Amino acid sequence: MKPSVILYKALPDALQQRLEDHFTVTRVNNLSPETVQQHADAFAGAVGLLGSSEKVDAALLEKMPALRATSTISVGYDNFDVDALNARNVLLMHTPTVLTETVADTVMALVLSSARRVVEVAERVKAGEWTKSIGPDWFGTDVHGKTLGIVGMGRIGLALAQRAHFGFNMPILYNARRQHKEAEERFNARYCDLDTLLQEADFVCLILPLTDETHHLMGKAQFEKMKKSAIFINAGRGPVVDEQALIAALKNGEIHAAGLDVFEQEPLPASSELLKLPNVVALPHIGSATHETRYNMAACAVDNLIDALQGKVDKNCVNPQAKA
Ligand SMILES: NC(=O)C1=CN([C@@H]2O[C@H](COP(=O)(O)OP(=O)(O)OC[C@H]3O[C@@H](n4cnc5c(N)ncnc54)[C@H](OP(=O)(O)O)[C@@H]3O)[C@@H](O)[C@H]2O)C=CC1
Ligand SMILES: O=CC(=O)O
């Protein structure tokens, strides 16, 4: 008999088939307590769990005593209680690398669209406001040659630095927990502390995981340190930023504009003050959302689950020490 797994995200047909070649699959819509209750036997007997964007915590693990591996279709895994997984020797697999270049493209799109006011002026054209040759009230600010501050020089930070250095001739400052020789040698990036980066950068780009240390890393005091002309970009996780402090900084003119792919609450409520500000480009968490990359992420997650349940955790495993 094939081992049983729970799938809580739709997969393309070929990948669903690949999963079914290896496992008996129970497909559910979410991991809510009601769903778990409704499929109690399937959850109790499942050795694997595959999906994305749902909370996997100790309460859920209680209902899954046979679980040996979880596989998320994402690189970020802040929605998993890793300590609880470790306590039960449950592996956590994720999808780094396959999405890196696509997410870096998205960050660059946020840099360009917020600096050049692409969304705002395109909306004005659609509204019929382009009735004569445009004046300074339609102008943006240059991107090329400006200083880019990257907070989080990991896989995506590095891919962003590559674009900024070679494509836009931007001097690069960066902050991370440690220095990254590759960024310094290939892109002439300069390591500095966060305060220095905030004071000197024309664009401050966050591409950080959400952890206890990064939660609200950017608050009132940090926005006050930024240049008034600076543009703030967040493509990591929403709660890394104190959103009320960001709104205040934008309203008070402490910073010039913001480009955001992630928010403290997602989906961003339609009532959010951010949506009333013309100097904000707000995207619906589309960092990796291309057909190609989302397919590759799902394929990676399926392969990761197969590998993990065969004891192969040499790559894409967050907690290889949990291998029983
Ligand atoms: N908007 C979207 O759709 C997407 C968002 N993401 C988010 O982006 C994050 C980064 O992805 P990726 O680049 O692959 O991850 P990596 O693990 O490769 O990079 C993370 C970087 O963050 C740095 N970092 C972690 N904690 C701190 C801290 N306390 N202070 C300063 N720097 C810190 C790390 O520092 P060091 O190098 O010193 O360890 C590292 O440079 C993901 O965790 C996810 O949350 C990812 C994909 C898509
Ligand atoms: O936010 C997306 C991810 O892959 O993490």
Interatomic CA distance for residues 133 and 113, integer angstroms = 21
Q: Which band of pLDDT confidence, cut at 50, 70 and 90, is reported for residue 304?
A: very high
Q: What is the pLDDT of residue 193?
A: 98
Q: Residues 11, 12, 17, 18: is their CA dihedral positive or negative?
A: negative
Three-state SS for 107? helix
List Cα–Cα distances, 6 to 40, 85, 92, in angstroms: 11, 16, 14
List Cα–Cα distances, 100 to 80, 97, 159, 271, 302, in angstroms: 21, 5, 7, 32, 18
**ipTM of model:** 0.99
User: Model's pTM, two decimal places?
Assistant: 0.98
Pocket of ligand 2 (CB under 6 A): 74-76, 99, 287-288
The residues assigned a catalytic role are 237, 266, 285
Ligand 1 atom closest to the CA of 178, numbered from 1: 38
Q: 84 and 63 in contact (C-beta within 8 Å)?
A: no
Pocket of ligand 1 (CB under 6 A): 75-76, 96, 99, 103, 152-157, 175-178, 207-211, 213-214, 235-237, 261-262, 285, 287-288
Q: Which band of pLDDT confidence, cut at 50, 70 and 90, is reported for residue 323?
A: confident
Q: What is the pLDDT of residue 88?
A: 97
Q: What does the pLDDT look like over 223-260, one tens digit per residue?
A: 999 999 999 999 999 999 999 999 999 999 999 999 99
Ligand 2 atom closest to the CA of 262, numbered from 1: 1
Interatomic CA distance for residues 126 and 6, integer angstroms = 46
